[in-house]
Amino acid sequence: MNIPTSIATMLAGILITLLSLWYGQNHGLMPIAASDEATLVDGLFNTMMTVGFGLFLLVEGTILIAVIKFRRKPDDETDGPHIEGNIPLEIVWTAIPAVIVLMISVYSFDVYGQMGGFDPEAAEGMPGVTQVAMLGGDEMSAPLIDPSQAHPKPHHHMMAVGVGASPDRAGQPPDLTVDVMGLQYAWIFSYPESGIVSGELHVPQGKDVRLNIKAQDVLHAFWLPEFRLKQDAIPGEDTEIRFTPRRVGDYPIVCAELCGAYHGSMVSRIFVHSEEEYDAWLGQQVAMQSASPDTLAQRLDEQILALTTPLSDEEFLAPYAHEVGLTAASLESLKGATPVLNELLSS
Protein backbone atom coordinates (compact mmCIF):
# COMPACT_ATOMS: atom_id res chain seq x y z
CA MET A 1 0.00 0.00 0.00
CA ASN A 2 1.56 3.28 -1.05
CA ILE A 3 1.32 6.49 0.88
CA PRO A 4 -1.18 8.35 -1.32
CA THR A 5 -3.65 5.49 -0.86
CA SER A 6 -3.46 5.61 2.90
CA ILE A 7 -3.88 9.36 2.85
CA ALA A 8 -6.92 8.98 0.61
CA THR A 9 -8.31 6.34 2.94
CA MET A 10 -7.72 8.57 5.94
CA LEU A 11 -9.38 11.54 4.24
CA ALA A 12 -12.34 9.37 3.27
CA GLY A 13 -12.60 8.20 6.87
CA ILE A 14 -12.58 11.76 8.18
CA LEU A 15 -15.15 12.81 5.60
CA ILE A 16 -17.46 9.90 6.46
CA THR A 17 -17.11 10.67 10.18
CA LEU A 18 -17.90 14.36 9.71
CA LEU A 19 -20.83 13.68 7.43
CA SER A 20 -22.33 11.13 9.84
CA LEU A 21 -21.84 13.42 12.82
CA TRP A 22 -23.63 16.18 10.96
CA TYR A 23 -26.43 13.98 9.66
CA GLY A 24 -26.98 12.30 13.02
CA GLN A 25 -27.94 15.69 14.47
CA ASN A 26 -29.68 17.18 11.45
CA HIS A 27 -31.79 14.41 9.96
CA GLY A 28 -35.02 16.18 10.93
CA LEU A 29 -36.94 12.93 10.85
CA MET A 30 -38.50 12.99 14.30
CA PRO A 31 -41.63 14.93 15.20
CA ILE A 32 -41.71 17.45 18.07
CA ALA A 33 -40.50 16.09 21.40
CA ALA A 34 -43.26 16.82 23.92
CA SER A 35 -42.12 14.81 26.94
CA ASP A 36 -38.97 14.09 28.92
CA GLU A 37 -39.03 10.56 27.56
CA ALA A 38 -39.07 11.85 23.99
CA THR A 39 -35.87 13.83 24.54
CA LEU A 40 -34.13 10.72 25.86
CA VAL A 41 -35.25 8.58 22.92
CA ASP A 42 -34.23 11.26 20.43
CA GLY A 43 -30.73 11.33 21.88
CA LEU A 44 -30.49 7.59 21.41
CA PHE A 45 -31.90 7.80 17.89
CA ASN A 46 -29.45 10.54 16.91
CA THR A 47 -26.56 8.38 18.10
CA MET A 48 -27.82 5.40 16.14
CA MET A 49 -28.33 7.60 13.07
CA THR A 50 -24.74 8.84 13.36
CA VAL A 51 -23.29 5.33 13.54
CA GLY A 52 -25.76 3.94 11.01
CA PHE A 53 -25.18 6.71 8.49
CA GLY A 54 -21.44 6.21 8.79
CA LEU A 55 -21.80 2.49 8.09
CA PHE A 56 -24.15 3.24 5.22
CA LEU A 57 -21.62 5.59 3.60
CA LEU A 58 -18.82 3.08 4.16
CA VAL A 59 -20.67 0.19 2.49
CA GLU A 60 -22.21 2.14 -0.38
CA GLY A 61 -18.94 3.99 -0.98
CA THR A 62 -17.01 0.72 -1.10
CA ILE A 63 -19.45 -0.73 -3.63
CA LEU A 64 -19.35 2.36 -5.83
CA ILE A 65 -15.57 2.62 -5.79
CA ALA A 66 -15.19 -1.11 -6.45
CA VAL A 67 -17.56 -0.93 -9.40
CA ILE A 68 -15.69 2.02 -10.90
CA LYS A 69 -12.16 0.93 -10.10
CA PHE A 70 -12.23 -2.84 -10.49
CA ARG A 71 -14.17 -3.35 -13.71
CA ARG A 72 -13.09 -6.14 -15.98
CA LYS A 73 -11.67 -4.99 -19.32
CA PRO A 74 -13.69 -6.49 -22.19
CA ASP A 75 -10.85 -8.68 -23.45
CA ASP A 76 -9.39 -9.55 -20.06
CA GLU A 77 -10.07 -13.23 -19.40
CA THR A 78 -7.79 -13.49 -16.39
CA ASP A 79 -8.83 -13.71 -12.77
CA GLY A 80 -8.32 -11.29 -9.96
CA PRO A 81 -5.75 -11.96 -7.24
CA HIS A 82 -6.23 -15.16 -5.27
CA ILE A 83 -6.97 -13.78 -1.82
CA GLU A 84 -8.93 -16.12 0.38
CA GLY A 85 -9.12 -14.01 3.48
CA ASN A 86 -7.22 -12.03 6.02
CA ILE A 87 -7.63 -13.09 9.63
CA PRO A 88 -6.66 -9.76 11.30
CA LEU A 89 -9.02 -7.88 8.99
CA GLU A 90 -11.82 -10.32 9.72
CA ILE A 91 -11.24 -9.96 13.45
CA VAL A 92 -11.46 -6.18 13.07
CA TRP A 93 -14.78 -6.28 11.26
CA THR A 94 -16.16 -8.77 13.72
CA ALA A 95 -15.00 -6.83 16.76
CA ILE A 96 -16.05 -3.35 15.64
CA PRO A 97 -19.74 -4.19 15.06
CA ALA A 98 -19.70 -6.19 18.29
CA VAL A 99 -18.45 -3.17 20.21
CA ILE A 100 -20.91 -0.86 18.44
CA VAL A 101 -23.94 -3.00 19.25
CA LEU A 102 -22.71 -3.44 22.81
CA MET A 103 -22.49 0.31 23.21
CA ILE A 104 -25.92 0.83 21.68
CA SER A 105 -27.29 -1.87 24.00
CA VAL A 106 -25.82 -0.18 27.06
CA TYR A 107 -27.10 3.21 25.93
CA SER A 108 -30.57 1.76 25.23
CA PHE A 109 -30.54 0.03 28.60
CA ASP A 110 -29.76 3.34 30.26
CA VAL A 111 -32.44 5.26 28.37
CA TYR A 112 -35.00 2.57 29.10
CA GLY A 113 -34.11 2.76 32.79
CA GLN A 114 -34.41 6.56 32.84
CA MET A 115 -37.78 6.34 31.12
CA GLY A 116 -38.95 4.08 33.92
CA GLY A 117 -38.84 0.76 32.13
CA PHE A 118 -37.43 -1.03 35.16
CA ASP A 119 -39.89 0.36 37.68
CA PRO A 120 -40.75 -2.80 39.64
CA GLU A 121 -43.83 -1.18 41.11
CA ALA A 122 -45.38 -0.62 37.73
CA ALA A 123 -48.68 -2.35 37.27
CA GLU A 124 -48.90 -3.19 40.95
CA GLY A 125 -51.74 -2.38 43.23
CA MET A 126 -54.21 -1.81 40.47
CA PRO A 127 -57.54 -3.54 40.63
CA GLY A 128 -58.13 -6.02 37.86
CA VAL A 129 -54.52 -6.54 37.03
CA THR A 130 -53.65 -9.99 35.81
CA GLN A 131 -51.52 -11.83 38.29
CA VAL A 132 -48.81 -13.81 36.67
CA ALA A 133 -47.57 -16.83 38.54
CA MET A 134 -43.83 -17.22 38.41
CA LEU A 135 -42.12 -20.43 39.34
CA GLY A 136 -39.98 -20.33 42.41
CA GLY A 137 -40.44 -16.70 43.20
CA ASP A 138 -38.30 -14.10 41.56
CA GLU A 139 -35.64 -15.99 39.64
CA MET A 140 -36.94 -14.74 36.34
CA SER A 141 -36.70 -11.14 37.30
CA ALA A 142 -33.87 -11.51 39.77
CA PRO A 143 -31.08 -10.16 37.56
CA LEU A 144 -32.79 -6.84 36.98
CA ILE A 145 -34.91 -6.19 40.01
CA ASP A 146 -33.45 -4.77 43.16
CA PRO A 147 -34.12 -7.30 45.96
CA SER A 148 -35.28 -4.56 48.31
CA GLN A 149 -38.02 -3.72 45.84
CA ALA A 150 -39.10 -7.31 45.36
CA HIS A 151 -42.68 -8.14 45.95
CA PRO A 152 -43.24 -9.72 49.37
CA LYS A 153 -45.45 -12.56 48.08
CA PRO A 154 -43.08 -15.19 46.77
CA HIS A 155 -45.43 -17.05 44.45
CA HIS A 156 -47.27 -14.24 42.83
CA HIS A 157 -45.46 -11.43 41.23
CA MET A 158 -47.03 -8.72 39.23
CA MET A 159 -44.96 -8.12 36.19
CA ALA A 160 -44.22 -4.57 35.29
CA VAL A 161 -45.58 -4.30 31.78
CA GLY A 162 -45.14 -1.01 30.05
CA VAL A 163 -43.10 1.99 31.09
CA GLY A 164 -43.27 2.83 34.78
CA ALA A 165 -42.05 5.69 36.94
CA SER A 166 -38.71 7.26 36.15
CA PRO A 167 -36.09 6.30 38.79
CA ASP A 168 -36.34 9.61 40.69
CA ARG A 169 -40.09 9.04 41.08
CA ALA A 170 -39.90 5.33 41.86
CA GLY A 171 -42.14 4.28 44.72
CA GLN A 172 -44.09 7.56 44.64
CA PRO A 173 -47.64 7.68 43.43
CA PRO A 174 -48.19 9.61 40.20
CA ASP A 175 -49.69 13.12 40.24
CA LEU A 176 -52.48 12.04 37.96
CA THR A 177 -53.85 8.65 37.00
CA VAL A 178 -56.06 8.18 33.96
CA ASP A 179 -57.70 4.91 32.93
CA VAL A 180 -57.48 4.34 29.21
CA MET A 181 -59.82 1.87 27.54
CA GLY A 182 -59.26 0.87 23.95
CA LEU A 183 -62.19 -0.48 22.01
CA GLN A 184 -63.16 -0.65 18.36
CA TYR A 185 -62.61 2.18 17.29
CA ALA A 186 -62.01 4.70 20.05
CA TRP A 187 -60.06 5.49 23.16
CA ILE A 188 -62.09 6.25 26.30
CA PHE A 189 -60.33 8.16 29.05
CA SER A 190 -61.71 8.11 32.58
CA TYR A 191 -60.33 10.11 35.46
CA PRO A 192 -60.96 8.01 38.59
CA GLU A 193 -60.38 10.91 40.99
CA SER A 194 -62.96 13.22 39.44
CA GLY A 195 -65.23 10.72 37.69
CA ILE A 196 -64.85 12.40 34.31
CA VAL A 197 -65.10 10.39 31.12
CA SER A 198 -63.75 11.84 27.91
CA GLY A 199 -62.85 10.90 24.36
CA GLU A 200 -59.79 13.11 24.53
CA LEU A 201 -56.90 13.00 26.95
CA HIS A 202 -56.18 16.19 28.88
CA VAL A 203 -53.08 16.33 31.08
CA PRO A 204 -51.34 19.07 33.04
CA GLN A 205 -47.90 20.13 31.92
CA GLY A 206 -44.93 18.96 33.98
CA LYS A 207 -46.88 16.48 36.08
CA ASP A 208 -46.15 12.79 36.50
CA VAL A 209 -49.02 11.10 34.62
CA ARG A 210 -49.86 7.41 34.74
CA LEU A 211 -52.11 5.81 32.16
CA ASN A 212 -53.63 2.45 33.05
CA ILE A 213 -54.29 0.87 29.70
CA LYS A 214 -56.97 -1.75 29.12
CA ALA A 215 -58.67 -3.17 26.06
CA GLN A 216 -62.25 -4.21 25.84
CA ASP A 217 -62.42 -6.31 22.67
CA VAL A 218 -59.26 -6.90 20.66
CA LEU A 219 -55.65 -5.78 20.86
CA HIS A 220 -54.98 -2.08 20.40
CA ALA A 221 -51.82 -0.09 20.91
CA PHE A 222 -51.80 3.29 22.57
CA TRP A 223 -49.27 5.45 20.76
CA LEU A 224 -48.24 9.02 21.45
CA PRO A 225 -45.78 9.80 18.60
CA GLU A 226 -44.72 13.17 20.04
CA PHE A 227 -44.02 11.48 23.38
CA ARG A 228 -42.22 8.45 21.83
CA LEU A 229 -44.39 6.18 23.95
CA LYS A 230 -46.40 3.18 22.95
CA GLN A 231 -47.98 0.30 24.82
CA ASP A 232 -50.34 -2.39 23.62
CA ALA A 233 -53.77 -2.53 25.18
CA ILE A 234 -54.40 -6.19 25.86
CA PRO A 235 -57.79 -7.66 26.76
CA GLY A 236 -57.46 -9.37 30.12
CA GLU A 237 -54.12 -7.84 31.04
CA ASP A 238 -53.51 -4.31 32.25
CA THR A 239 -50.54 -2.35 31.08
CA GLU A 240 -49.31 1.13 31.88
CA ILE A 241 -47.36 4.10 30.66
CA ARG A 242 -46.05 6.73 33.02
CA PHE A 243 -44.66 9.96 31.60
CA THR A 244 -44.18 13.66 32.15
CA PRO A 245 -45.63 15.94 29.46
CA ARG A 246 -43.38 18.99 28.98
CA ARG A 247 -44.68 20.97 26.06
CA VAL A 248 -48.08 22.65 26.01
CA GLY A 249 -50.07 21.83 22.91
CA ASP A 250 -52.24 19.16 21.40
CA TYR A 251 -50.89 16.06 19.73
CA PRO A 252 -52.30 12.97 18.05
CA ILE A 253 -53.10 9.71 19.80
CA VAL A 254 -52.85 6.79 17.40
CA CYS A 255 -53.85 3.13 17.59
CA ALA A 256 -50.86 1.16 16.36
CA GLU A 257 -52.12 -2.41 16.50
CA LEU A 258 -54.40 -3.70 13.75
CA CYS A 259 -57.81 -3.77 15.41
CA GLY A 260 -60.24 -4.12 12.54
CA ALA A 261 -61.46 -2.37 9.42
CA TYR A 262 -61.48 1.15 10.86
CA HIS A 263 -58.13 0.80 12.65
CA GLY A 264 -56.85 3.79 10.68
CA SER A 265 -59.57 6.07 12.04
CA MET A 266 -59.01 5.10 15.67
CA VAL A 267 -57.44 8.43 16.51
CA SER A 268 -57.77 10.94 19.30
CA ARG A 269 -55.88 13.94 20.68
CA ILE A 270 -53.85 14.52 23.81
CA PHE A 271 -53.98 18.08 25.18
CA VAL A 272 -51.15 19.24 27.39
CA HIS A 273 -52.40 22.23 29.39
CA SER A 274 -50.75 24.63 31.73
CA GLU A 275 -51.89 23.93 35.28
CA GLU A 276 -54.52 26.72 35.33
CA GLU A 277 -55.95 25.67 32.00
CA TYR A 278 -56.10 22.10 33.16
CA ASP A 279 -57.95 23.03 36.35
CA ALA A 280 -60.41 25.08 34.33
CA TRP A 281 -61.05 22.17 31.97
CA LEU A 282 -61.46 19.82 34.92
CA GLY A 283 -63.94 22.13 36.64
CA GLN A 284 -65.95 22.51 33.47
CA GLN A 285 -66.11 18.75 32.91
CA VAL A 286 -67.11 18.03 36.50
CA ALA A 287 -69.85 20.63 36.29
CA MET A 288 -71.15 19.18 33.03
CA GLN A 289 -71.17 15.60 34.18
CA SER A 290 -72.70 16.27 37.61
CA ALA A 291 -75.50 18.39 36.17
CA SER A 292 -77.83 15.43 35.84
CA PRO A 293 -76.49 12.61 37.96
CA ASP A 294 -79.40 10.19 37.34
CA THR A 295 -78.86 10.19 33.61
CA LEU A 296 -75.12 9.97 33.95
CA ALA A 297 -74.93 6.27 33.20
CA GLN A 298 -77.11 6.69 30.16
CA ARG A 299 -75.07 9.65 28.95
CA LEU A 300 -71.91 7.64 29.34
CA ASP A 301 -73.35 4.87 27.21
CA GLU A 302 -74.33 7.35 24.53
CA GLN A 303 -70.95 8.97 24.65
CA ILE A 304 -69.17 5.65 24.25
CA LEU A 305 -71.50 4.62 21.46
CA ALA A 306 -70.82 7.86 19.63
CA LEU A 307 -67.09 7.48 20.08
CA THR A 308 -66.95 3.89 18.89
CA THR A 309 -69.00 4.48 15.78
CA PRO A 310 -66.44 4.58 13.00
CA LEU A 311 -65.95 7.99 11.52
CA SER A 312 -67.04 8.48 7.96
CA ASP A 313 -64.38 9.83 5.67
CA GLU A 314 -65.67 13.39 5.93
CA GLU A 315 -65.80 13.20 9.70
CA PHE A 316 -62.36 11.64 9.84
CA LEU A 317 -60.89 14.24 7.53
CA ALA A 318 -62.75 17.25 8.89
CA PRO A 319 -60.21 18.15 11.60
CA TYR A 320 -57.49 18.22 8.95
CA ALA A 321 -59.50 20.01 6.31
CA HIS A 322 -57.87 23.38 6.80
CA GLU A 323 -54.42 21.83 6.68
CA VAL A 324 -54.88 20.26 3.27
CA GLY A 325 -57.13 22.89 1.71
CA LEU A 326 -60.20 20.69 1.48
CA THR A 327 -63.48 22.57 1.34
CA ALA A 328 -66.62 21.54 3.14
CA ALA A 329 -68.14 20.66 -0.21
CA SER A 330 -65.31 18.36 -1.19
CA LEU A 331 -65.55 16.66 2.18
CA GLU A 332 -69.24 16.06 1.58
CA SER A 333 -68.50 14.50 -1.75
CA LEU A 334 -66.33 11.82 -0.19
CA LYS A 335 -68.14 8.58 0.08
CA GLY A 336 -69.36 7.94 3.62
CA ALA A 337 -68.26 4.86 5.48
CA THR A 338 -70.82 2.42 6.78
CA PRO A 339 -71.07 2.66 10.52
CA VAL A 340 -70.31 -0.63 12.20
CA LEU A 341 -71.40 -0.68 15.81
CA ASN A 342 -69.32 -2.34 18.37
CA GLU A 343 -70.74 -5.75 19.15
CA LEU A 344 -69.98 -5.61 22.83
CA LEU A 345 -71.78 -2.35 23.36
CA SER A 346 -74.81 -3.00 21.22
CA SER A 347 -75.51 -6.37 22.84
Partner 1 sequence: MTQTDFPTTASPDGGAHSGHHGERKFRDYFTFNPDHKVIGLQYLVTSFVFYILGGVLATAIRTELATPASDFVSPDTYNGLLTLHGTIMIFLWIVPAGAGLANYLIPLMIGAKDMAFPKLNALAFWMIPPGGLMLIASFFLETPKAGWTSYPPLSLVSGQVGEGIWIMSILVLGTSSILGAINFVVTILKMRIPTMPMNKMPLFCWAMLATAALILVGTPVLAGALILLAFDLFAGTAFFNPSGGGNPVVYQHMFWFYSHPAVYIMVLPLFGTISEVLPVHARKPIFGYQAIAYSSLAISFLGLIVWAHHMFTSGTPAWLRMFFMIATMVIAVPTGIKIFGWLATVWGGKISLNSAMLFGLGFIAVFVIGGISGVMLASVPFDIHVHDTYFVVAHMHYVLFGGSVFGIYAGIYHWYPKMTGRMMNEPLGRIHFVLTFIGMNLTFLPMHELGLLGMNRRVAMYDPRFADLNVLCTAGSYLLAISTLPFLFNAIWSVFKGKPAGDNPWRALTMEWQTTSPPAIENFEGVPVLKTGPYDYGLERNGSQPGLASSDTPALSGGSPT
List the interface residues with partner 1, window 221-260 (CB under 8 A). 221, 223, 225-226, 228-232, 234-237, 239, 252, 254-260
| Site size toward partner 1, by CB under 8 A | 103
Q: Which residues contact 314 (CB under 8 A, 6 or more apart)?
A: 331, 332, 334, 336
Q: Which helix (H) or strand (E) holds 156?
A: strand 156-157
Q: Which residues contact 107 (CB under 8 A, 6 or more apart)?
A: 44, 47
Which of 12, 21, 126, 145 lies at the binding interface for partner 1 (CB under 8 A)?
145
- Smaller CB distance to partner 1: residue 88 or 293? 88
Tell me the DSSP string of 263-278: GGG-EEEEEEE-HHHH
CB 39 → partner 1: shortest distance, Å?
11
What's 338's DSSP letter?
P
- Smaller CB distance to partner 1: residue 160 or 176? 160
Q: Note whether 79 binds partner 1 by CB under 8 A.
A: yes
Q: Note whether 137 binds partner 1 by CB under 8 A.
A: no
**Which residues inside 268-327 make contact with partner 1, applying CB under 8 A?**
313, 316-317, 320, 323-324, 326
Map residues 37-76 to x or -, x wherever contact with partner 1 holds by CB under 8 A.
---xx--xx--x---x--xx--xx-xx--xx--xxxx--x
Q: Note whether 209 binds partner 1 by CB under 8 A.
A: no
**Are residues 269 and 253 in contact, defined by beta-carbon separation less than 8 angstroms?**
yes
CB 246 → partner 1: shortest distance, Å?
16
Distances (CA, A) of 232 to 223, 224, 259, 294, 315: 8, 12, 11, 35, 26
CB 200 → partner 1: shortest distance, Å?
16
Q: Note whether 111 binds partner 1 by CB under 8 A.
A: yes
Alpha-carbon distance 60 to 165, whole Å? 42
Which of 2, 5, 93, 294 lies at the binding interface for partner 1 (CB under 8 A)?
93
Alpha-carbon distance 82 to 112, whole Å? 48
